[in-house]
Structure 1
Amino acid sequence: MRYLMAVWDGGGATPPNLGVARLLIERGHEVVVYGDPSVAEGILATGATHRQWPTAPQRVSSAIEDDLLRDWEPATPMGAFARLRDRLVTGASGRFAADVAAAIDEATALAEAGSGAPFDVVLADGMLFGALVAAEARGIPNAALVGSVYLAPNPDRPLFGLGLAPARGPLGRLRDRLGFALTNAGWDTGLRDLNTTRARYGLAPLKHVWSQWDRADRVLILTGAAFDNTAPVPANVRWVGPVLEDLPADGALDLPPGDAPLVVVGLSSSYMQQELLLRHIAVALAQLPVRAVITTGPAIDPADVPAAAHVRVVRAASHTALFEHASLVVTHAGHGTVIKALAAGVPLLCLPIARDQPDNAKRVVRHGAGRVLSKRADASAIAQAVVDMLATPTYAAAAAALGERIRAEIASGVLVAELEALPGRALARERAGETSAQEDPR
């Protein structure tokens, strides 16, 4: 089949999407990926064809000044949230829809002229609502790819982003219903933009922004069901296991010599003003009898983080390869780093900064696979936590047990089955009368 993928440079959310492209290509399908120039190398490394977005907002390089959201600039979390909504999800939905619709129409026209093939399926990053609108309007089977835990507002799940535990009792359920209403209210500030885009393509308006996911044939959650909270969700949602893809790194990395425990540090592949925290971690590890590899990400110069004879500091390295040798991972608790560590059975010391990280960190703790420290922790507190965790085997045991369950999900093949069944899913919905003009289900 021929797949059209729509992705953006979303930091740790990008590699799982590229891993999906690689998986499809390995199975003999053709994949064309519309994506930012800053991730072109990663797209091409999968064997897919890369096309730059013609009009949609995009990141042209990994430089800090080219970041699309710059979500570290607003003074409040609500300000950062508004940037995501307005610059990507709803405010830019018209431009993403126009680019995807044009790609579909071009391929269809070439196929009708006998000089090409149409797209059979559209796969869009779950944040690119405009791409999902275009696929819905053109009647192309489609799925939203979500490289994290389930994050849509839901009355049966805790408010996203605060690290809250699942509800227990009437007060907990009331908390979640109130959180659902508040979250929808924040997102629905962008509803007019999204419905304007939908109207442009002849689609019925939605009652809530996140109802756009309900219009997809599938919403594929690229994480372990064993890690996430699988409370009741819409019928088109599936947990399909994580995709453990790494962005390209420069050559192989020699580990520090010796046989001391290896600690791997990763604080996001996108910029989050993490320089001071990286330095605190480096200072902490330099005084301990461990070996360490610190990855800074593309936005931070490794020279700005103090190294030592047994502490290597690099811009990028394959986390999947490093975790095979690691005894502990120190991280901001971005989903990509967390799920790769857990899949390898490695415990985590989490220092969440923002975004989805508090939720991921608290899940790690609830599974017994790690600890949480404040992002303001100093070198002494970090060093003590590392020592304590390395000396406490229950963390590694819990991580190993969870990792076994996650690897079983990956090996099950459910992701491939869902991806390759999408045309049939769409046909079944059409025969059942689930057209795009149907009233919004929520």
Structure 2
Amino acid sequence: MPYNFLLACWGVAGNLGPMLTAGRQLRRSGHTVRLLADSALREEIEAAGFGFTAWRRAPNYSDFEPLLVALDPTDLGSFSEHILFGPAAACAADTREELNAAPTDALLAHDMLLGSAIAAEAAGVPCAVLSPHISVRPLPGVPHVGSGLTPPRSFEERADVEAANRRFGDALNERLYLLNEAREGQGLAPLNHVFDQYDRPDRFLLAISSAFDFPADDLPDNVRYIGPLLDPPGWSKPWRAPWPAQSDRPRALVSFSTTFQDQADALQRVVNALGRVEIDAVVTTGPALVGSALHAPKNVTLLHSAPHDAVMKEVSLVVTHGGHGTVSRALLHRLPLLIMPMGRDQDDNALRAEARGVGLTLPPTASEAEIARALNRLLTEPHFRIAAHRLGAAIAAELDSAGLVGEMEEIVAFRRADHRPARKRLLRN
């Protein structure tokens, strides 16, 4: 039976890709899809054939991008106030308005858009939250995002993880009042803890691979792993390989963030390091570095963009900032990684890649010599390729059995069959 789905997208660039992939999967199954998103995304969303509505009250990405760039990743107070919880009331109002504007059988909302999930709960509309990265919601036994910790292997390490997760929750909970203001504005009862909000939606969908993620002791009832959502971006240009077809030299793809992370200097050092290694390379600079003057040796080709799936079929390794999409795509192509994380969820992805043995991590300040040594290790030590092949096969198998569409259809069917909300709404007295 065809349904009408509303998708609420946070931010731009890397966040839009998974949402468009989700939309395409739903549309291929016969459903109608429209998006509520940043005004800057109108052209790409409409080019993909989806209906579009821009945020009206909630801030667009351009409103808070300077804050994101300057934000200290350890400053949870500023992050929760200005990014996660502060806009929730405005986001809830916009989402509620859009839910009422057209028939909507269910909402799929980015996990940063807590206000959208609040609006769906208040409207009695089935809701799934999509997390296209390491879960912001700490899972039992897993170190919280940004902790720098690996899974515990002893009683002492477990105590450290639990203490870190408590501190993380306490820090976020200092802005609980902002979340509750958004809930009360929609006629819902306040919560006792910010993490309670993640229990309210029908589904919390992790668009990452469980084979890549650290294993949890157990999963909350509404959590599902659905695997990465990896359609190519709409701005990617056609690809023509710059190297001879019969060359037996190893090859690399270098790709950093599609948004600004002050990456030009680090990228130039990577390019210079490639000049020290017996390798051919393609560097895709992306929209964040338009106008940047990078200089490349003869064995390195600079491109604004290229379809990464096509490039990865021809390379031996990938150098990246550690964005989840690039890391997952490389692993699906069974490629080892050199990761130079610059913030956001990138350190967490790097920790998981190293723990699985599929790559190496360097700081973005690494010297040309350090980068060259890491590249040579990835090329000459076969255990990286073996581990990448093993993990990539596991991720591919998981994707074959994963089902965003099935999960979305199920929450609608359950609600209709039961003739009542799947989860009792917490209404304000």
* TM tier, smaller: over 0.9
Identify the residue that residue 71 of structure 1 maps to in structure 2: 68
Distance 1:397 1:44, change over 3 A: farther
Higher mean alpha-carbon deviation, 6-15 vs 25-34, is at 6-15
Q: Secondary structure at the match of 2:69?
A: coil
Q: Residue 93 of structure 1 contacts residue 128 of structure 1 at CA under 8 Å; is this kept in 2?
A: yes
Distance 1:179 1:10, change over 3 A: farther
* 2:88 matches 1:93: yes
Query: Which of 96, 109, 132 is equivalent to 1:124?
Result: 109
* 2:168 matches 1:183: yes
Higher mean alpha-carbon deviation, 400-409 vs 8-17, is at 8-17
Q: Secondary structure at the match of 2:343?
A: coil
Identify the residue that residue 48 of structure 2 maps to in structure 1: 46
Q: Residue 22 of structure 1 contacts residue 48 of structure 1 at CA under 8 Å; is this kept in 2?
A: no
Q: Which runs of 5+ in 2 are unaligned?
A: none
Q: Residue 25 of structure 1 contacts residue 48 of structure 1 at CA under 8 Å; is this kept in 2?
A: no
Shift of 1:431: 5.3
Identify the residue that residue 296 of structure 2 maps to in structure 1: 307
Shift of 1:427: 5.0
Shift of 1:221: 0.3
Give, as a single letter, the amino acid of the residue that structure 2 aligns with 1:136: E
Q: Secondary structure at the match of 1:304?
A: coil
Q: Secondary structure at the match of 1:97?
A: helix
Count how many residue pairs are aligned between Structure 1 and Structure 2: 422
Shift of 1:149: 2.2
Question: 1:132-176, CA deviations, whole angstroms, 9 ceiling, x for partnerless residues?
Answer: 000010000110001012231345221321331101222122112
Shift of 1:17: 1.5
Q: Residue 162 of structure 1 contacts residue 358 of structure 1 at CA under 8 Å; is this kept in 2?
A: no
Identify the residue that residue 193 of structure 1 maps to in structure 2: 178
Query: Which of 200, 212, 219 is equivalent to 1:227?
Result: 212
Between the aligned partners of 2:158 and 2:316, the Cα distance in structure 1 is 38
Identify the residue that residue 382 of structure 2 maps to in structure 1: 393
Between the aligned partners of 1:425 and 1:128, the Cα distance in structure 2 is 24
Q: Secondary structure at the match of 1:159?
A: coil
Between the aligned partners of 1:237 and 1:14, the Cα distance in structure 2 is 21
Between the aligned partners of 2:342 and 2:414, the Cα distance in structure 1 is 39
Give, as a single letter, the amino acid of the residue that structure 2 aligns with 1:28: G
Identify the residue that residue 149 of structure 1 maps to in structure 2: 134
* 2:2 matches 1:7: no
Question: 1:348-404, CA deviations, whole angstroms, 9 ceiling, x for partnerless residues?
Answer: 011112121111111111111111112211111111211121112221111111111
Identify the residue that residue 320 of structure 1 maps to in structure 2: 309
Question: 1:231-282, CA deviations, whole angstroms, 9 ceiling, x for partnerless residues?
Answer: 1231100001111122223531222222222211111111111111001001
Identify the residue that residue 392 of structure 2 maps to in structure 1: 403
Q: Secondary structure at the match of 2:5?
A: strand
Between the aligned partners of 2:40 and 2:422, the Cα distance in structure 1 is 41
Query: What does 1:164-313 correspond to in 2, within 5 Å?
Result: 164-231=149-216, 232-258=218-244, 259=247, 260-301=249-290, 303-313=292-302
TM-score w.r.t. the length of structure 2 is 0.93
Question: 1:8-62, CA deviations, whole angstroms, 9 ceiling, x for partnerless residues?
Answer: 22543331111101111122211110111333333234321122112210135xx
Q: Residue 126 of structure 2 contacts residue 421 of structure 2 at CA under 8 Å; is this kept in 1?
A: no
Give aligned-pair identity as a percent: 34
Q: Secondary structure at the match of 1:192?
A: helix
Identify the residue that residue 113 of structure 1 maps to in structure 2: none
Shift of 1:83: 4.1
Shift of 1:297: 2.5
Between the aligned partners of 1:15 and 1:49, the Cα distance in structure 2 is 16
Higher mean alpha-carbon deviation, 126-135 vs 311-320, is at 311-320
Question: 1:90-120, CA deviations, whole angstroms, 9 ceiling, x for partnerless residues?
Answer: 100011101110111122xxxxxxxxxx110
Between the aligned partners of 2:174 and 2:96, the Cα distance in structure 1 is 25
Q: Residue 334 of structure 2 contacts residue 393 of structure 2 at CA under 8 Å; is this kept in 1?
A: yes
Give, as a single letter, the amino acid of the residue that structure 2 aligns with 1:243: L
Query: Which of 94, 98, 102 is equivalent to 2:97?
Result: 102
Give, as a single letter, the amino acid of the residue that structure 2 aligns with 1:22: R
Between the aligned partners of 2:271 and 2:119, the Cα distance in structure 1 is 47
Give, as a single letter, the amino acid of the residue that structure 1 aligns with 2:74: M
* 2:79 matches 1:84: yes
Q: Secondary structure at the match of 1:152?
A: coil
Q: Which runs of 5+ in 1 are unaligned?
A: 61-65, 108-117
